[in-house]
Amino acid sequence: MPGQFMARPRTKVLEIRLGDEKISRMNPADQHTGLDAFDRQLLVALQKDNRTPLRVLAEQVHLSTAAVQRRIRRMEDAGVIMSNTAVVNPERVGRPVTILVEVHAKVAQADRLEALKKTFAGPEVQQCYYVTGEADFVLILAVSSMAEYDAIAHRLFSGNEDVQWFRTVVAMDRVKVSLDVPVVTTISA
């Protein structure tokens, strides 16, 4: 049918048919992720509140509740949605001090770096990044006091033979805290 518009929600390609000619456009991000516009809209909504009822999500993205449930399960199975967690206010649970630590490793051997990564992945560390630049790692910790941090710093950094130096930055205010990932929901022209 001339001028017929067809959107295939399960594919990554938006198809527009003009007579016998088919014009296709793909969101560049979708080439690698397998996510379509519906999936992306769901991700935006779920990052705001992952307890939103399926019925409400279905209305927002114009799909059936069953389709939304299948898509969420598929994204969980594929590792796109890594977990469903609660965001906890650290002050309300006795961890009001946020610490950022830059760590420079003495070692360059892969096995020793992997050991450091495991050391820095302990429960006292909220986030750990292996980075480029002057430091090799950046860690984020939430602690109850500077005394607690001092004990952690001795155990993880100053008492660790694989650490050359570390630098501590104490946050004065938590201006923005989020793990939301920006998700593009439209195909640009």
pLDDT digits (tens, 9 = 90+) for 137-181: 999 999 999 999 999 999 999 999 999 999 999 999 999 999 999
Dihedral (Cα; 142, 165, 152, 91), 10-degree rounding: -10
Same-domain status, 69 and 113: no
Amino acid at 167: R
- Name which of 147, 159, 183, 170 is nearest 36 in CA terms: 183
Tell me the two tokens of residue 120.
């820095």
3-state secondary structure of 31: helix
Same-domain status, 66 and 138: no
Q: Sort strands 13-18 and 21-26 into parallel, antiparallel or unpaired.
A: antiparallel
Same-domain status, 13 and 72: yes
- Mean pLDDT of the chain, nearest integer: 86
pLDDT, tens digit, 9 for 90 and up, residues 80-92: 999 999 999 999 9
- Domain CATH for 40: 1.10.10.10
Whether 186 maps to a domain, the answer reads no
pTM exceeds cut of 0.85: no
Same-domain status, 22 and 55: yes
Domain of residue 110: give its range.
90-170
Q: Sort strands 125-130 and 137-143 into parallel, antiparallel or unpaired.
A: antiparallel
Tell me the two tokens of residue 79.
């590792």
Q: In what order do the strands lie in the sheet with 21-26?
A: 5-7, 13-18, 21-26
Same-domain status, 72 and 96: no
The C-alpha atoms of residue 12 and residue 17 are separated, in whole angstroms, by 16
